[in-house]
Amino acid sequence: MQEHLEFYIDGGWTAAATAQKLDVIDPSTEEPFARIALGGQDDVDRAVAAAKAAFPAFAATSKEQRLDLLSKVLDGYKARIDEMAEAISREMGAPLGFSKQAQAPAGIGHLMQAIKALKAFEADEIRGTSLVTREPVGVVGFITPWNWPVNQMMCKIAPALAAGCTMVLKPSEIAPTSALLLAQILHDAGVPKGVFNLVNGDGPTVGQALATHPDIDMISFTGSTRAGIEVAKAAADTVKRVHQELGGKSALILLDDADFPKAVKGGARGVFFNSGQSCNALTRMLVPLDRMDEVAQIAKETAEKTTVGDPFGENSMVGPVVSKTQFDKIQGLIETGIKEGADLVAGGTGRPEGLNRGYYVRPTVFSKVTRDMTIAREEIFGPVLSIMGYRDEADAIDIANDSRYGLSGGVTSASLDRARAVARQLRTGTVHLNGALPDFGAAFGGYKQSGNGREWGRYGFDEFLEIKSVFGWEPPPAK
């Protein structure tokens, strides 16, 4: 059993102010493998005070100094990337191969983009006789989730460091060990005392304390829409900046000229990978009505060839979901899909055959799903694909946009111009054309109840800057 009973505050590891502890559960065994301390208001106060005290000096560092610091963080992260991948797989269940291929390397990608953004950054701009300058926003509170833990931490921490902000991180208490390792990496890289702080705890306690704290200038939250609403309400009294990356129920539109075998297989695998625990997963597959049976058969074969098992096993493509709470929620939504009349093509309730413990979910495919069904509207956050039929292109766009969410989407067509035209009509923050992978240099974020603000690259960097205008900076023109 690992013991992690300290928080990283003001440049060092320090004991929690409270005696409350929490077991961290390995989702593949349902057994605890670590124990953390849960923080409270006093711990948050200490961490925020340290960040506030460190802000003036860190905000005054030069671009060159911050570039040097980020370079050292990058080197330190690369040196421990295998350790990071193993921590992620143990705490949230992603297969180790997937953690090494995608989960852990995401931290490198965001650090490199932050370095790129900072190199190109010029704070000052003269407009007429005025100076318009951009300055770090101040002390930032981060509340991050368990599904892509390092990705979500580093796409906030890296640009915040680049901008000259100081920060307090509350990682998910369900998957905290990757965050503790990241704190040590930042410490070893020489991040100045008080610039980065970490307090473990739950949302109602530590998250609430950060959101309401008068000395926090900005909250950046990633998680469910329900929790994001609570964070925004808590932050409102102090009028701090609130950045939110929230839920999704994204649609993949297969136009009638698509390569259906390739597109369906790729789309289904995209839903199953990471056990479906990606906010931008394209969980609604929209297909022509007359191709429904063909698509369902391809998706069924894909699901049946998707191996589920031990994250540290050799052949596992999909591991467990993160917790019993998530497992029970997914099981309930699969049952709802069956009761509401969707055709269960593959998977279903219960664990996959041969697995009698662990929070493993069967890769599940529903066809003939209609837009009024719960599984077409609710974010399941599990390896569950809903196939929906459309009459024509306009109908497909209407179905895709018929959601309170607007995080991601996809369009597949033999004609790139046709795919582009449909993409412009989708009310989502990102769209993948013909299976294109995410680009960390572009912007990531959502429309509607999927959040506000943007992450990644220059766009994420800009979120951590305030804009100041100084009138009369230049003398008026001579008459």
* 84: phi then psi, degrees, rounded to nearest 5: -65, -45
Q: Confirm if 191 and 69 have CB atoms less than 8 A apart.
A: yes
Catalytic residue status for 245: yes
- What DSSP string describes 243-311? EEE-----EEEE-TTS-HHHHHHHHHHHHHGGGG--TT---EEEEEGGGHHHHHHHHHHHHHT--B--T
Three-state DSSP state, 219 = strand
| Type and span of the H or E element at 390 | strand 384-390
Other Cβ atoms less than 10 A from the Cβ of 57: the count is 14
Catalytic residue status for 165: no
- DSSP state for residue 331 in the 8-state scheme: H
Distance of CA 28 to the CA centre of its chain: 22
- Measured distance CA(72)–CA(60) in Å, rounded: 19
Q: Confirm if 389 and 368 have CB atoms less than 8 A apart.
A: yes
340, 274, 4, 44: CA torsion to nearest 10: -70
| Type and span of the H or E element at 178 | helix 177-188
- The overall longest dimension of the chain from CA atoms, in Å, is 87
Nearest to 172 by CA among 209, 139, 206: 206
Q: Confirm if 149 and 110 have CB atoms less than 8 A apart.
A: no
| Catalytic residue of the set 86, 91, 173, 279 | 279
| Catalytic residue of the set 86, 173, 245, 455 | 245
Other Cβ atoms less than 10 A from the Cβ of 190: the count is 11
Sign of the alpha-carbon dihedral angle for 369, 301, 381, 28:
positive
Distances (CA, A) of 199 to 58, 77, 276, 309, 405: 21, 21, 28, 32, 30
Residues in the chain: 479
Q: Which residue has the tokens 């269960």?
A: 344
- Measured distance CA(371)–CA(402) in Å, rounded: 8
Q: Confirm if 114 and 70 have CB atoms less than 8 A apart.
A: yes
- Measured distance CA(35)–CA(29) in Å, rounded: 16
Nearest to 40 by CA among 237, 208, 246, 187: 208
| Residues labelled catalytic | 245, 279
